[in-house]
C-alpha cells in the first residue's frame, strides 16, 4: 500500500506511475486521498485542541475545589462535559476519515520502478535475455497432452471425475518426476542460502490483505466461506506473512525463505491450446523463494533471484527467455517484475514458468514489516519468485525430450526420480 506522505511528497511521480500501470482516474483518486488526508489532519488538530482544553479545565477545577470556590468549579465542570461530547464527535469523525483514507489507498496499485517499460498488454513486454537451445523435433512430435496419454503418466479424466477440470492425477513415473522436480528445486534453493519452511495452504483475510491478494484478487481465490479462509494462490502469501507486524533488526537481514506448496487458482480457462493439458490448472505445485531485505539492497537481491531461476532452467537444459513486464501487464503489488518463459517445442510457443518481483515497501506497509535504523523503524522491501512452478516445466520437459524410444529425463533429475527415461 502506498503511504500518504510519500504521495504528497512525490505527487507527480505518483500520478505518472499510476498512469504507467493504466490505473483509471489517477489524478482524481489521488486528489480524493489528499483531500481526505487534509480533513483528517484538521479533525486531529481540533480533537487535540479540545482534549487540551478539557485537560486544562480539569486542572482549574481541582484548584477551585481546593480554594472552596465550588460554584465556579461547577461551571467549569459543565464546560468540561460539553468538551467531552465534542471530543467524542471528533473522535468518530477522525475514525471515519481514517477509514475513508484507507479505503482509497488500498485501491491504488504499487508504483512501477523507473525502468519499467511503457505498455498495456503482454505484447508490450521487453525481452531482455534468451538462453538455451531450442530442440529440433521430428514432424510427428506430440504435444504433452498426447504424450501423457501415450505413457499413462497423468490422468485428466480421472481428475475431472474426482474433482473437476484442472485437477489432474499424476501417476507412476508422472508422480515420481513431480516429486523429483520439487526436491531438486528445494535442494538448489537450500544451496543458495534459503531456509526451508512448510507453511499452511490456507490463509485468513488479514494475510491475503498483507501481500495484496485481497481485495484485488478475491475472485481468483478459492474461499472456504464457513471459516473465512482462502486456499493459497502461491506460497508467497503465508511465507511473507510470517513477518506481519514484526520489527526486525538489521543484523537479521536478509531473510531468505523457500517453500513448496500446492497452489490453487480459480481463473484457469477452459478453451484453446493455450490452456490445454498442463498449460493452465486450478491446482498445481510450485516452489517459491521469498526475500526480505533493506531498501538499498533489494535490487541486488532481485538480481540474485533472477540468477537463481536462470540457473535452474540451465540445469534442466530448457530453452528460456526473460521478459521485463510493461506497466500494464504487471501485478497490482509489484514495482518491477521479470517473467521467465520456456520454449515448448511441440506446441511451438513460450510458456511462463516464473515471475520474479520486487514489491519495494508496498507489501511491507500493509504488513507493518519494519526494521530498526538508528533507533527508528523503517519499512523493509519484500521480493519473491517462482523457483519454479511445475506444470509448464513438466510440459516442456516432456515435449522437448521426446524421441521414438521414450522421453529422456534431464540428468539433474535422474538421481531424484530413479530412472532416466519415461517409456
Residue 382 among known ligand-binding residues = no
| Cα gap 5→24, rounded to integer Å | 22
Residue 267 annotated as lining a ligand binding site: yes
Q: Which 3 state secondary structure label does DSSP give 322?
A: strand
Cβ-contact 329, 122 below 8 angstroms? yes
Q: Which is nearest to 76 in space by CA: 88, 50, 58?
A: 58
Whether the CB-CB separation of 115 and 319 falls below 8 Å is answered with no
Residues facing 334 on adjacent strands = none
Q: Any binding-site annotation on 334?
A: no
Is 354 assigned to a binding site? yes
Say how far apart CA 361 and CA 293 lie, in whole Å. 10
Alpha-carbon gap, residue 197 to 217, rounded angstroms = 25
Q: Which three cell numbers stand for residue 166?
A: 484442472
Burial of 164 (0-12, 13-18, 19+ CB in 10 A): exposed
| Residue 98, annotated as binding a ligand | no
Would you list the DSSP string of 398-419?
HHHTEETTEEEPPHHHHHHHS-
φ/ψ of residue 305, rounded to 5: -70, -40
Ligand-binding annotation for 128, yes or no, is: no
Q: Please name the residues in contact with 182: beta carbons below 8 A apart, sequence gap of 6 or more.
A: 260, 285, 287, 390
Ordered strands of the 376-379 beta sheet: 247-248, 370-373, 376-379
**355 annotated ligand binder:** yes
CB-based contacts of 69: which residues, under 8 Å, 6+ apart? none
Report residue 264 as a C-alpha cell: 490453487
CA distances in angstroms from 410 to 22, 35, 130, 179, listed in the order given: 42, 59, 20, 14
Instruction: Determine whether the annotation assigns residue 234 to a binding site.
Output: yes
Q: Which residues are annotated as a binding site?
A: 234, 265-267, 288, 352-355, 384
Residue list, annotated binding site for ATP: 265-267, 352-355
Q: Which residues are annotated as a binding site for L-serine?
A: 234, 265, 288, 384
Amino acid at each position: 500500500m502506498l503511504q500518504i506522505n510519500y504521495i504528497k511528497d512525490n505527487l507527480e511521480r505518483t500520478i505518472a506511475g499510476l498512469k504507467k500501470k493504466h490505473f483509471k482516474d489517477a489524478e482524481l483518486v489521488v486528489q480524493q486521498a489528499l483531500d481526505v488526508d487534509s480533513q483528517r489532519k484538521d479533525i486531529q488538530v481540533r480533537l487535540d485542541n479540545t482534549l487540551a482544553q478539557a485537560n486544562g479545565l480539569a486542572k482549574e477545577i481541582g484548584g477551585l475545589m481546593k480554594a472552596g470556590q465550588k460554584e465556579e468549579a461547577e461551571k467549569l465542570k459543565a464546560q468540561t462535559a460539553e468538551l467531552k461530547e465534542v471530543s467524542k464527535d471528533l473522535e468518530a469523525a477522525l475514525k471515519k476519515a481514517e477509514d475513508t483514507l484507507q479505503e482509497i489507498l488500498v485501491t491504488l496499485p504499487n508504483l512501477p520502478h523507473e525502468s519499467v517499460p511503457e505498455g498495456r498488454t503482454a505484447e508490450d513486454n521487453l525481452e531482455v535475455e534468451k538462453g538455451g537451445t531450442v530442440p529440433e523435433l521430428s514432424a510427428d512430435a506430440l504435444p504433452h497432452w498426447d504424450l501423457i496419454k501415450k505413457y499413462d503418466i497423468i490422468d485428466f479424466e480421472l481428475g475431472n471425475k474426482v474433482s473437476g477440470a484442472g485437477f489432474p492425477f499424476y501417476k507412476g513415473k508422472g508422480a515420481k518426476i513431480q516429486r523429483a522436480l520439487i526436491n531438486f528445486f528445494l535442494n538448489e534453493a537450500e544451496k543458495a542460502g534459503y531456509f526451508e519452511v512448510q507453511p499452511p495452504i490456507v490463509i485468513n483475510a488479514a494475510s491475503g490483505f498483507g501481500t495484496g491478494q485481497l481485495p484485488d484478487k478475491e475472485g481468483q481465490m478459492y474461499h472456504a466461506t464457513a471459516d473465512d479462509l482462502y486456499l493459497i494462490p502461491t506460497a508467497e502469501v503465508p511465507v511473507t506473512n510470517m513477518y506481519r507486524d514484526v520489527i526486525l533488526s538489521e543484523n537479521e537481514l536478509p531473510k531468505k525463505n523457500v517453500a513448496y506448496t500446492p497452489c490453487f487458482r480459480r481463473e484457469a480457462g477452459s478453451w484453446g491450446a493455450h490452456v490445454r493439458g498442463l498449460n493452465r490448472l486450478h491446482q498445481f505445485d510450485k516452489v517459491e523463494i521469498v526475500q526480505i531485505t533493506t531498501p538499498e539492497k533489494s535490487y541486488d537481491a532481485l538480481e540474485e533471484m533472477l540468477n537463481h531461476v536462470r540457473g535452474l532452467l540451465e540445469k534442466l537444459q530448457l530453452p528460456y527467455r526473460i521478459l521485463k513486464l510493461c506497466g500494464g501487464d504487471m501485478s497490482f503489488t509489484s514495482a518491477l517484475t521479470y517473467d521467465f518463459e520456456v520454449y515448448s517445442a511441440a506446441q511451438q510457443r513460450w510458456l511462463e514458468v516464473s515471475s520474479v518481483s520486487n514489491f519495494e515497501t508496498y507489501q511491507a506497509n500493509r504488513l507493518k514489516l519494519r526494521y530498526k535504523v538508528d533507533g527508528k523503524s523503517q519499512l523493509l522491501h519484500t521480493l519473491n519468485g517462482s523457483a519454479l512452478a511445475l506444470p509448464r516445466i513438466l510440459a516442456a520437459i516432456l515435449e522437448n525430450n521426446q524421441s521414438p524410444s521414450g522421453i529422456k529425463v534431464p540428468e539433474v533429475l535422474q538421481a531424484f526420480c530413479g530412472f532416466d527415461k519415461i517409456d
